Structures are given as C-alpha cells and as structure tokens.
Amino acid sequence: MGSLASERKVVGWAARDATGHLSPYTYTLRNTGPEDVVVKVLYCGICHTDIHQAKNHLGASKYPMVPGHEVVGEVVEVGPEVSKYGVGDVVGVGVIVGCCRECSPCKANVEQYCNKKIWSYNDVYTDGRPTQGGFASTMVVDQKFVVKIPAGLAPEQAAPLLCAGVTVYSPLKAFGLTAPGLRGGIVGLGGVGHMGVKVAKAMGHHVTVISSSSKKRAEAMDHLGADAYLVSTDAAAMAAAADSLDYIIDTVPVHHLLEPYLSLLRLDGKHVLLGVIGEPLSFVSPMVMLGRKAITGSFIGSIDETAEVLQFCVDKGLTSQIEVVKMGYVNEALERLERNDVRYRFVVDVAGSNVEEDAADAPSN
C-alpha cells in the first residue's frame, strides 16, 4: 500500500467559461480517504459530452471545469480499506464517481441511474469540493468506481470503452439483444456509433449503418465490417428496408427526426436513444402503436458492465479506432470533434504531455 498523502496540488486543463477553451489550471485534490485510489492519469478519451459541458450547452456548467471521463491510469496510492486494487495496477475511471448506495438502482448494481450520482466532473463531491475530470495529471477516486484494465488491452485503447464502449454494450444486454442472428441498425458513426458496429458484429448480429449521406459507406462496410448501409434521405431505400430491424442504436447527439427510423423496426422493435439532446424530440403515436414498438433510452453502463465490456473486447479482439493527441492539442481536437472530423475517438496522451509547458504550444482560439 502506498503511503497516505495530504492534500496535493495538481494541474489539469480547464474551461473557465462557455467558450469551452481549455488551459492549464492548478487545483487541490482531496485527502486520500480509506477507500480511495489515487490514479496517475495516463490517457483520457474525448467525448462529445465534454463539448456539451465545457460550452454549457445543457445550462448547468460550473467553472473552472476540468473535463474528461474516459480515464485510464496507474494506481500510485491506495487507502487502508482498499481491497480491489494495488499500487501499479492499470485502472479505468468513467462517467460517475459517487452514488447514494441505498436506492433501488444502487442495490441492483445499476448505479448510473441513482438520482444522487456524482459525475466525474462538473459536480460536487460529498466533501463539498468540485469534482474534476481526467484532463489532469492525477485523480482521487473511490474504489467502487474504478475498474481494472484487463491484460491484453492497451491503455489508450481502453479509454473510449469506459464511455463509448459500455454505452452501446449496456442497452444490448439490458434489453435482451445479445443473441446471435438479430438485425440491428446503428444511427451515427462517431465515437459511440463505431463501437456499436463492432460490439454488435461481435455478438453475431447483422448490422446496418444508417446515415444521412453516402459519404461514410466505405468506412462502415470496408473498415468496420457493417453488413449494410442505408442513406436515411433515400426514400426508396428506406421504404425497402421497412420492418427489417430488431433494434436501432441511435447515437446522434443533436436534434433529429425519429419517424424515418421507426419505420425500419419490426414488431416489438426498440429504438434506443444514446445521444444527449437538449431539445424535445417528436413523433406521431401510430408509428409506435401499430408495431408495438418502443422508444427508450440508456445511459452509459454500470461499473459491472464496464468491467464486462472491457473483457468482452479482449475476448473478441475488439479495439476502438482512435487518434492519440497531446494535451497541447486538446482545444483543436475538441473543435474537430464538434465538426465530426475524427475517426473515431480522440484520446489524450496525458502522461506523455507536460500539462504546464504544453500551454505554450496550444492553438489559440
């Protein structure tokens, strides 16, 4: 066990206002508690939610804010009651770092649905301190919200699985959509969508990628292994594909029409919303009534499911497709992500960056 340290100062890259521009920020971590794990951050993925939060798209951002919730790091210290991890372990930290542990979701080990969950950043911890994320050198996290990265999975590859990977794995498992032979659709071919294709294919599903144009056809079919590609603006093709899918995983994080996709579902088909959208979606009720179809949602995944998807990816030989960048490039990476200019996930090499000196190399906004 590493020796317990007092409060320590660390440097992260924080947004100060709704411009979302990140720059070095020094702050103090809490003392290491009895069940806490101190993690030296190695890599951190960049999620579209980081943009939403940094730019206050959801109206609840608090600054200064250090984003990042796809964190992989090395344990450098553990509290005296930590039993799951030891110094030197490579671990992951995802979207939440706290919950009440008493409500029905917590007791059912789906703590991501706890109404008192604590986000890994842009939230307040039980001690009253603001939580800060993985675009930083170090984090302190309760052992309950840490997962071990299994052997055979590179740490930079593991980072996107802590959000994007488990976000598609969880609803497939929860809604009984894991049997081979199912036919699924993936809407949106970004960080979450590309993992949706890979996970569904590994489960033995026939996978159709659905997009608003044909420009990603080669990527979807030749590189990711999708079985079919459907352009949602092609009325004839959409009509021909009606009643053909058992489920749709909808990863689009902006407002869009649902009705064109609902027509693709078979009887009892499910349209699962995964994108964070800050305005109402609409549809006419016969679209679901006449096929007993369901529009539902799913939010990340539990800690148990996160461990499962990591091992699933090792067992199936799955990797995420990533572009590794240094911290000094993070603002440009966020801009590129916002215009969908990445295949398919940025991962920040935090340990390989000097979070203080990289400020001199950061692109100006």
Residue 118 dihedral angles phi and psi, to the nearest 5°: -115, 120
Structure tokens belonging to residue 225: 């292994």
Angstrom distance (rounded) from CA 247 to CA 184: 5
Residue 295: per-residue pLDDT: 98
Domain ranges of the chain: 9-163+302-308+319-361, 165-297
In this prediction, residue 358 carries a pLDDT of 55
Mention every residue, 6+ apart, whose C-beta is less than 8 A from residue 51: 20, 57, 334, 337, 338
Cα gap 293→77, rounded to integer Å: 49
Residues of the chain with pLDDT under 50: 1-3, 363-365
Which SS3 state, helix, strand or coil, does residue 192 take? Answer: helix
The per-residue pLDDT for 33 is: 94
pLDDT number for residue 68: 98
The per-residue pLDDT for 356 is 67
In CATH, which of 3.90.1150.10, 3.40.50.450, 1.10.3720.10, 3.90.180.10 is domain 9-163+302-308+319-361? Answer: 3.90.180.10
Strands 265-273 and 206-211: unpaired
Look up the CATH number of domain 165-297.
Answer: 3.40.50.720
Q: Tell me how far CA of residue 50 lies from CA of 53, 124, 185, 271, 333, in angstroms.
A: 5, 17, 26, 25, 11
Quick one: pLDDT at residue 36? 97
319: which DSSP letter?
-
Dihedral (C-alpha) 21, 25, 30, 32: value to the nearest 10 degrees? 100
